Structure 1
Amino acid sequence: MSRRKLLVFPAGTEIGLEIFEALQHCKEVELHGAGQDVPNHARFVYPRYHLLPSVREAGWVGALADLCATLSIDYIFPAYDDVIVALAEQAAHLLPAKVLCPSLKTCLVTRSKRSTYEALAGDVRVPAVHRSASDVATYPVFVKPDRGQGSQGVRRVANAAELEAALSETVEPLICEFLPGEEYTVDCFTDREHGLLFSGARIRERTRNGISVSTSTVELPGADRLAERIGNRLGLHGAWFFQLKRAADGELALLEVAPRVAGSMSAHRVQGVNFPLLTIFEHERKPLKLLVNDGVVCLDRALRNRYRHPYRYAALYLDFDDTVVVAGRVNLTAIALVHKCIEDGIKVVLLTRHAGDISATLAKHRIQTLFDEVVHLRAGERKSDYITLPAPILVDDSFSERMEVHKRLRIPTFDPSMIEVLLHSQPPDPVSQD
């Protein structure tokens, strides 16, 4: 298939910005963003941004359908909870553009915490929900909106007076059991035929406006089992996540489930799980395999991503086509990594199967002097045979090339969407090159 034309709507949410970060360098996708004519960060990062009304405005379906027809959009990626339901309800009117979400029934159930708890009761532990204020015998309790997202609108209530105030100020309030312990998000990817292919937990260490801005990947016993039960019961596929919190007895209880990309899924993306791209492939029913780097990644967000990671390296091996140059243009993120390595005294080797004159192509893009060595492979030669320097890593857009190198050399490998973990990070201790 040629490059898929993907429209992210609304593009200015944290979800839309994470989809952009994941797909901006992918050769398989031509990325478009859309949203209202209001200031938002998507207008600074999406090279193709289109104006659309909100799903709460009259005529939005027709405007979206017209835009998709004009641009020949293949897929629409919803990037806000209410928009997921709206697009699922109107999917038939948007064809041939396809909405990347599960069934309308699944979207409706997961949009309501009450419906989610009712659907999953018996499969996972869900918080006790009080029918009314008169049923509350002990405090504290949580009051939260039934259709909120994350921790937005959640209030800890200590007594009857506070409860009365919270109920009057909250839209569609739920009175829930108080859960005092740690809070986790479990990022998931499910293939509708082969089941759960990935689940990875991260602890929510700091939140802002309901969004996790400091999070670290963790081993969470039992999370895989819960992910399988939730995914199977609700019919989830593609990228999705759920949130857990420890109850007073130490058991994990469900907070919510969402059938979408999470803004902080980047913590697992930079380990090898490109949730938006995998969601496209899952929709196309492509056979999927994952290659995930080991180690703990800490993500701290201050309006941009920063990482702490375990990858220590003394040599960078880099592919050329669709890695250094993508769609005829230099990948500035890859070149930034090359320059970072030059500044850090790390050798950089270009390892390429380029079909033309690689020297001429490098000269055309004015990058011929950046590399310590250029290795031009012949047909049938393995990249792993030419990775000989100590403590190496490989950056390559090709999954099969990365898998071959990883299997033979057991070194970290990265695709272009993962480069940011090497650029925007607190560096580990330097590797000795002796």
Structure 2
Amino acid sequence: MSEINVLILSAGRRVELVQCFQKAAEKLDIKSNIVAGDCSDTAPALYFADRTYKLPRILEPNYIDVIIDACNQENISLVVPTIDTDLLLLAENKSFIEEKTNAKVLISDYKVVEICRDKINTQRYLEEIGFGIPKMYTEEEVRTGTLKFPLFIKPKSGSSSINTFKVNNNSDLKTYMDIVKDPIIQDYMEGEEFTVDVFLDFESKIISIVPRLRIATRSGEISKGKIIRDKEIIDNVTKLMKVLKPIGHITVQLMKTKKGIEYIEVNPRFGGGAPMSIMSGADSCENLFRLLMGEKLEYNENYKDNLTFLRFDSSICIDENMELVRW
């Protein structure tokens, strides 16, 4: 493959991810354009990408057709989703996109995405296959008041920790029930929270598993994290991945509690903090380039342990012509 171009959908603020793909291509001495696609002209990642492509909003009826046009015009080899609202639509249209282009879509099977995108589906699935997850209360249990506080409430299809709350009493519960649409009510978990970056090849073979302790978060996304090669977490997540069988970069959230490992959610896409694991040595971007070149990868733990990452905001300036101003 002489050129491997990557289209990052809903690129938004994913500057680090764009740069990780660029660095991986440079390291491997690959000719590559990282194309950032977004519906907004002011998405910061556009100004760091090699090329850009204007996309419609996800709910527009021509969204998939425009992705196909982008793939053909930009000679795209890989389409990378970054936000939850893309996932079911892309999974549903994966074969169609791949038939009409030379690109692979980095999305798991529709059934996998369906399990992960609906948190009630996730809850039931994990319970059925015997993995730890906090108790979820039924509508009847909520109505009859057979609850034990503290609880945790969240929307069944939410993301970025929007409308998620700790519930200390019945008064809190009544307030938050009015706020959260289609809520899930669970036992409140206490312990150390981890995000786990998992990379699997296109046949769902596990290549790397990197646990990250969530030291601090902002708006649901990790702002400070520490790489910890926790054997218990790695073994447990390995068992889950072998049953679930997703592909690509997967972001798993869990907690180590007094009861053991309990799962929060599984996101079948690059999480916002994924560059932490990539920079530690578990380079999912390099892995993807190697897979696209036909290489076979083996499981490894060739990443640095006990690294702490501190994320921060930065800004760029664009002029009246929507061009980057360099200071």
TM-score normalised to the size of structure 1?
0.65
Q: Are positions 1:89 and 2:87 aligned together?
A: no
- C-alpha separation between the residues in 1 aligned to 2:305 and 2:88? 36
RMSD: 2.1
Partner of 1:118: 124
Alpha-carbon contact 1:238-1:282 (below 8 Å) kept: no
Q: Are positions 1:219 and 2:217 aligned together?
A: no
- C-alpha separation between the residues in 2 aligned to 1:236 and 1:124? 17
Could you list the runs of 5+ residues in structure 1 that have no partner in the other structure?
305-434
Cα deviation, residue 38, structure 1: 4.2
Look up the equivalent residue of 1:37 and give its one-letter code: S
Partner of 2:135: 128
- Aligned counterparts, 1:15-414, within 5 A: 17-25=15-23, 26=25, 27-28=29-30, 29-94=32-97, 95-96=100-101, 97-121=103-127, 122-132=129-139, 133-134=142-143, 135-191=145-201, 195-247=205-257, 249-282=258-291, 286-289=295-298, 290=300, 292-303=302-313
- C-alpha separation between the residues in 1 aligned to 2:289 and 2:57? 24
- C-alpha separation between the residues in 2 aligned to 1:53 and 1:115? 29
1:257-315 residue CA offsets vs partner (Å, 9 max, x unmatched): 111112212222122211133135446652114572433111001126xxxxxxxxxxx
Look up the equivalent residue of 1:139 and give its one-letter code: F
- C-alpha separation between the residues in 1 aligned to 2:287 and 2:204? 14
Partner of 2:9: 9
Cα deviation, residue 146, structure 1: 1.1
1:84-112 residue CA offsets vs partner (Å, 9 max, x unmatched): 22211122332323211111111111111
Cα deviation, residue 35, structure 1: 0.5
- C-alpha separation between the residues in 2 aligned to 1:252 and 1:108? 23
Alpha-carbon contact 2:163-2:179 (below 8 Å) kept: no
**Alignment: residue pair count:** 301
Cα deviation, residue 136, structure 1: 4.0
Look up the equivalent residue of 1:111 and give its one-letter code: R
Alpha-carbon contact 1:42-1:49 (below 8 Å) kept: no
1:262–1:142 CA distance, 2 compared to 1 (3 A):
same
Look up the equivalent residue of 1:198 and give its one-letter code: S
1:58–1:197 CA distance, 2 compared to 1 (3 A):
closer
Partner of 2:317: none
Alpha-carbon contact 2:36-2:53 (below 8 Å) kept: yes
Look up the equivalent residue of 2:6 and give its one-letter code: L
**Structure 1 residue matching 2:50: 3-state secondary structure:** coil
Percent of residue pairs identical: 22
Alpha-carbon contact 2:229-2:305 (below 8 Å) kept: no
Look up the equivalent residue of 1:214 and give its one-letter code: K
Alpha-carbon contact 2:254-2:263 (below 8 Å) kept: yes
Partner of 2:319: none
Alpha-carbon contact 1:231-1:237 (below 8 Å) kept: no
- C-alpha separation between the residues in 1 aligned to 2:150 and 2:204? 42
Could you list the runs of 5+ residues in structure 2 that have no partner in the other structure?
315-327
